Structure 1
Amino acid sequence: MKPTTRGTLAAAVTGIAAAVAAVGAAAVPAAAAGTVPVPVPLDGVEKSLGMEAPKLGMELPLLTPGAPDGPRYVEGRLLPDRALPQLPISGGLPGLGLRAPLPHVLGDDFDHVGVDAPAGDLRTLAPGLSVEAPLTAPDPKNFGLPGLQLPRAGVLAPVVQTVAGGDLGAGPGR
């Protein structure tokens, strides 16, 4: 292989490696933050209508399932507690950012209105199930045989925890 070909090939491989590293580095902050930014391009509307269009952007959450809290063995029961464990899922509420022109309704100093609702943390637990068998644990007083009891079932309620916030404002500028 000629030295010129080798140099061209090395430059091409270096450029491709740099591009892949840049794409990978750009994807890491979005995944680390738990949300993916989604810009809404309205430049075409602004140019075609000849007027200022709203600026709009959103954030979509990435849901991450956690490890379920496994069944717990309780002394005196045949079946474990939480036969169907609850699955924790964490993520976020979608975020929204909007800035729109306002035709001086509130005075000369207020020509834009903005809404900012950042993505908020969200923690959930799926419903679970706890079941008790119609037989008790082996009883030494009854020659090691289990006794009878009424079967029971309980549903573990789902849990949703979050704090949502937002900001509405009006002011000058773009």
Structure 2
Amino acid sequence: MKSTTRGTLAAVLTCVAAAAGAAAATPAAAIATVPVPVPLNGVEKSLNVELPEIGGQIPLPMPGAPEGPRYVEGRLIPERVIPQLPVGAGLPGADVRAPVPEILGNGFNHVGLDAPASDLRTLGPGVALDAPLTAPNPENFGLPDPKLPQAGVLTPVLQTVPGAGLGLGQGL
């Protein structure tokens, strides 16, 4: 095989590997949303006025796999009897552009609000229990010792970082 053929083949394989890596990384980072446009064109034409352009995004919740129970030495019941259910989604987004008449000219300016959909990570509540007995005690002929029972509720978790931008600009 010629060196130019090998070089071309190496370049093609590198590009394919980079494209496959980018394609694999994109769905994990992207939020699954459904765009929701608000059609106001008919009202604009019937009233002969400039109306705001409104659109939004509604996120799709994606349930995850719950983290299973963890066995801890010295406990008869696993650490998380009822695990927390993770749900990944996003906060809804909005894009609004409203016309503002220009005082010194004939054109329209606009006020725009852009609040993109942002990631939202949640964990439902869970339960942690422990039995009123200890593990078998070799000093007590293999019988468990009594102890106080334990019960706890794992609090729900909500994590997000919303953002928005407000600005003025030319045109609509």
Same fold (TM over 0.5): yes
Give 1:110 shift: 6.7
Unaligned stretches of 5+ residues in structure 2: 1-26
User: What is the aligned counterpart of 2:124 among 103, 123, 126?
Assistant: 126
Give 1:33 shift: 4.4
* RMSD across aligned positions (CA): 1.9
Q: What whole-Å deviation, never above 9, does each CA across 1:105-156 have from its counterpart, x for those lacking one?
A: 6x65872111000111111111111111111112121112111111111121
Supply the AA of the counterpart residue of 1:51: V
Give 1:103 shift: 2.5
Give 1:104 shift: 3.0
Alpha-carbon separation, structure 2, partners of 1:170 and 1:117:
15
Equivalent position of 1:26 in the other structure: none
Alpha-carbon separation, structure 1, partners of 2:94 and 2:147:
55
Equivalent position of 1:111 in the other structure: 109
Count of aligned pairs? 143
Within a 5 Å distance, the mapping from 1:82-101 to structure 2 comes to: 82-101=80-99
Give 1:72 shift: 0.7
Between 109-118 and 54-63, the greater mean CA deviation after superposition: 109-118
Give 1:157 shift: 1.8
User: What is the aligned counterpart of 1:170 among 161, 168, 171?
Assistant: 168
Give 1:59 shift: 0.2
User: What is the aligned counterpart of 2:39 among 38, 41, 47?
Assistant: 41
Higher strand share: 2
Alpha-carbon separation, structure 2, partners of 1:124 and 1:66:
10
Equivalent position of 1:161 in the other structure: 159
User: What is the aligned counterpart of 1:59 among 43, 46, 57?
Assistant: 57
Supply the AA of the counterpart residue of 1:35: T
Alpha-carbon separation, structure 1, partners of 2:132 and 2:108:
71
Alpha-carbon separation, structure 2, partners of 1:130 and 1:162:
26
Identity %: 64
User: What is the aligned counterpart of 1:150 among 148, 151, 156?
Assistant: 148
Alpha-carbon separation, structure 1, partners of 2:169 and 2:67:
50
Would the aligned equivalents of 1:87 and 1:125 in 2 still touch at CA under 8 Å? yes
TM-score, normalization: structure 2? 0.77
Give SS of 2:101's match: coil
Alpha-carbon separation, structure 1, partners of 2:99 and 2:108:
9
Supply the AA of the counterpart residue of 2:37: P
Would the aligned equivalents of 1:110 and 1:170 in 2 still touch at CA under 8 Å? no
